[in-house]
Structure 1
Amino acid sequence: MDMLTANEAKTHFGEVLLKAQQAPIQINKNGKPVAVVISVDEYNSIEVLKLRLLQSRAVYRV
């Protein structure tokens, strides 16, 4: 995963958006990770997985 400082991400925001379409990008501030930029497709995939996990947990509790 590529990593950038918050200042680098701000300065090169358009490039960050383009790169995020290919792979997640970690943003660090003061040397600590604070965010990850991902594509909409990847975000939607994560949301589907979360929903499936919650649904499977609900089925086992009945």
Structure 2
Amino acid sequence: MKSINANEASSQFKSLLETVQHEPVEIKRYGKPIAVILSRNEYENLHAEKIKLEMECLKMRLDLKDTKE
């Protein structure tokens, strides 16, 4: 993953938006990671996966609860 400092991200925002269409970019301030910027498509994929995993976890909890009763 590419990494840039916050000042660069600010001054090169247009270029940053183009870069994140291909790969996430980590933003650092004073050498410490503070954020990751990614494309809308990548965000939607991650969000959908999170929802899928939450639903699977909920289903397992319900199945476990049914076996205890």
One-letter amino acid of the structure 2 residue matched with residue 55 of structure 1: M
Aligned pair count reads 62
Match of 1:5 in 2: 5
TM-score, normalization by structure 1: 0.98
Match of 1:18 in 2: 18
CA RMSD of aligned residues (A): 0.4
Report which of the two structures shows the higher radius of gyration computed on alpha carbons. Answer: 2
Match of 1:56 in 2: 56
Give the CA deviation at 1:5. Answer: 0.4
Give the CA deviation at 1:21. Answer: 0.2
Structure 1: unaligned runs, 5 residues or longer? none
TM-score, normalization by structure 2: 0.88
Tell me which stretches of 4 or more aligned residues in structure 1 moved more than 3 Å.
none
In structure 2, how many angstroms separate the alpha carbons of the residues matched to 1:3 and 1:57? 33
CA shift digits 1:23-44 (9 cap, x unpaired)? 0000000000000010000000
Structure number with greater CO (CA < 8 Å, separation at least 6) is 1
Identity of counterpart residues, as a percentage?
34
In structure 2, how many angstroms separate the alpha carbons of the residues matched to 1:61 and 1:6? 42
Structure 2: unaligned runs, 5 residues or longer? 63-69
The SS at the match of 1:36 is strand
